[in-house]
Structure 1
Amino acid sequence: MTPAAKPWKSFEEQLAILVERGLQVDDREAALSYLARIGYYRLSGYWYPFRQLEISQDDDGRLVKRRLNAFVADSHFREVVDLYVFDKKLRLLALDALERIEMALRVDIAHLLGEQDIHAHENPQCLHGHFSKQLLKKGKAKDKTQHQLWLEKYHQHLHRARREPFVAHYLSKYGRLPIWVAVEVWDFGMMSKLYAGMKQPDQDRIAAKYGATSGRALAEWLRSLNFIRNVSAHHSRLWNINVLERSAPLADDAYWQTLNNARPFFYFCLMQKLMRIICPNSRWHQRFRKLMADFPQTASGAVTLRDVGVIDDWQAWALWR
């Protein structure tokens, strides 16, 4: 049987549930205000690590972890909000860096491919055969190439931007957009997918500029950074997320070798690696260091920077100096 849906609760009732479960509320009016402005469900992702963890064994002797409704002793509503604010600042820092990375890579791709054909993004001959010629075997996209799917999305974006003056001008005068104009209607995901679909020598030329070992490695970075970008742009929880689109670990130095590529810090390190080349005079890294220093201190110790993936002594790493 389908369980009954959870009933609607007033903000006062929501707060009463949290207090009953052991969350300490030092300022009741402020807590009610946060529930009204941010929402119980969104905040629940931030108080989740403050809930007690039960560890048991199943019938096969395997460990089973389960979060209980009750909170760890000395957990405070204010700490949950502080964590939420920290995460918001972290997302904004990510978007700041990713915008610069996206703009730079757009120029690189457009400049390199535009020399071959001003409409290279629409020309299968300018791209890798696996991307532009190989037909997909399964799903709704069966018997289409990845390039055809990319072009469908491109034309959707182009249609949405058709009233933009620069788009309207080029379409009315020339009928098509040259690649250095077309990049302006791409999003990060489209940019990363087209880069992944480029011929290997073209990929490698751009990758060498950013210290990647190969075009394939840079394509991985961009796919992962697009995941971070989507999480950040959609206001989702970032600080302790399990990154699903992972890049391979780097072996550049001992610091890189100790990073966990499932945690966000690894990808902020990738951003900084790229930012040092794109914006060498930027103070973005200083703002990141300051934000890490401002990580919320909790009475219970339920959350730490380890959850972000931060490693010991990272401030001494040349990457962040």
Structure 2
Amino acid sequence: MPFARPWLSYQQQLDQLIGRGITVTDRDAALSYLERIGYYRLSGYWYPFRRFEPAAEGESKRETRATDQFCPDTHLLDAVELYLFDKKLRLLVVDALERIEVALRVDLAYLLGKRNTFAHLDRSYFHPSFIRQPAFRGSHQTRFEAWMEKYRGLVKRSKEDFVRHYHQRHGEELPIWVAVEVFDFGAISQLIGMMKVSDQQHIASKYGLDWQVFASWIYGLSYLRNICAHHSRLWNRNVTTQVKLPKPREVQWCDFLAKDDERLAKPFVLLAITRHLLKVICPNTLWHLRLRDHLLTFPTQKSVRKLGLANMGYIENWQEWW
């Protein structure tokens, strides 16, 4: 299907939105939002306010399709305020994930370093069946080979003085307690997923989790980290990777979560996981209270279509245990 949408000036973009039914009470402010945030980025936040109609037979597997028209009383500010709410949400999440990432680096360096200074380079320190698995379906690389390629790339791209210092003074290979400082969240998740079960369980037990649940949670937070790092829409995103849940009564707050694929495909569960891990790492943290207070500022809309925390997949009565 050829792309035929023309370039539009900011004024034309705004006129198009008004023509489709969005209410604009301050044209200068509206133009400023389009110039600073961008039409396409904002479109993810006004999308829920579009009118939906039944999909044509054979057109799509979906039951409805979005039209270009907006629901009655939808204001451009409805989308802008959602964007600002989402921006602050991402900043709060990044703050927590940074602390979790650093703590996981320490966990890995301490455990693997006890085995061998360069344990991260030696497949014998990892689970044989895990490291032999294809990196993904149809891949000719094993998980270990893919991880090594990623790790080598992180070292090569690093501009840190300590990397240059170690290369000059001690050779090409970094000891594990130095190497972890170039890991990103994805590398951490991959490495944990290849470790021997006993080692995974050793780290997981610190967080009160089974090793399989722990590995899936870290993978889920890696996905969350990528969303935030790329400034992508978070608040009502469909999460493509669903996490595992502990057995009943193993983690008290998880008992409020029924096996609900729709809820597990929303970001609230990842926010709750972030809270759980951070409270282990920093027992006196107030981060979860700052996040709670922010969630309770969810903007009200003038549009007849109302959105709320339910669109995030929130758990009923979540404030009772939060």
Same fold (TM over 0.5): yes
- 1:3: Cα distance to partner? 3.3
In the alignment, structure 1 residue 73 sits paired with structure 2 residue 72: yes
The aligned residue for residue 257 of structure 1 is 258
The aligned residue for residue 277 of structure 1 is 280
The aligned residue for residue 206 of structure 1 is 203
The aligned residue for residue 193 of structure 1 is 190
Q: Work out which of the residue numbers 214, 221, 229 in structure 1 matches 2:217.
A: 221
The aligned residue for residue 40 of structure 2 is 41
Residue type of the alignment partner of 2:307: V
TM-score, normalised relative to structure 1: 0.92
Q: 1:157 to 1:52 in 2, by over 3 A?
A: same
Bigger mean CA offset, 75-84 vs 171-180: 171-180
Runs (4 or more) in structure 1 with deviation over 4 Å come to 133-139
Q: 1:39 to 1:137 in 2, by over 3 A?
A: closer
Q: Secondary structure at the match of 1:168?
A: helix
In the alignment, structure 1 residue 286 sits paired with structure 2 residue 282: no
Contact 2:71–2:305, Cα closer than 8 Å, also in 1? no
Aligned residues between the structures: 312
The aligned residue for residue 99 of structure 2 is 100
Q: Work out which of the residue numbers 146, 149, 155 in structure 1 matches 2:146.
A: 149
Contact 1:22–1:71, Cα closer than 8 Å, also in 2? yes
- 1:256: Cα distance to partner? 3.0
Alignment of 1:1-321 (within 5 A): 2-55=1-54, 58=57, 64-133=63-132, 139=138, 141-142=139-140, 144-161=141-158, 163-175=159-171, 176-212=173-209, 214-250=210-246, 251=248, 252-253=251-252, 254-257=255-258, 260-299=263-302, 300-317=304-321, 320=322
Q: 1:46 to 1:137 in 2, by over 3 A?
A: closer
Mapped to 2, the partners of 1:38 and 1:257 lie a distance apart of: 38
- 1:158: Cα distance to partner? 0.8
Percentage of identical aligned residues: 46
- Structure 2: which 5+ runs fail to align? none
Contact 1:124–1:133, Cα closer than 8 Å, also in 2? no
User: Larger relative CO (CA 8 A, sep 6+): 1 or 2?
Assistant: 2
Q: Secondary structure at the match of 2:52?
A: strand
- 1:58: Cα distance to partner? 3.5
Contact 2:201–2:211, Cα closer than 8 Å, also in 1? yes
Q: 1:150 to 1:283 in 2, by over 3 A?
A: same
Residue type of the alignment partner of 2:185: F
- 1:193: Cα distance to partner? 0.3
TM-score, normalised relative to structure 2: 0.91
Mapped to 2, the partners of 1:156 and 1:117 lie a distance apart of: 22
1:105-125, Cα deviation, whole Å (9 max, x unpaired): 111111001000010100111
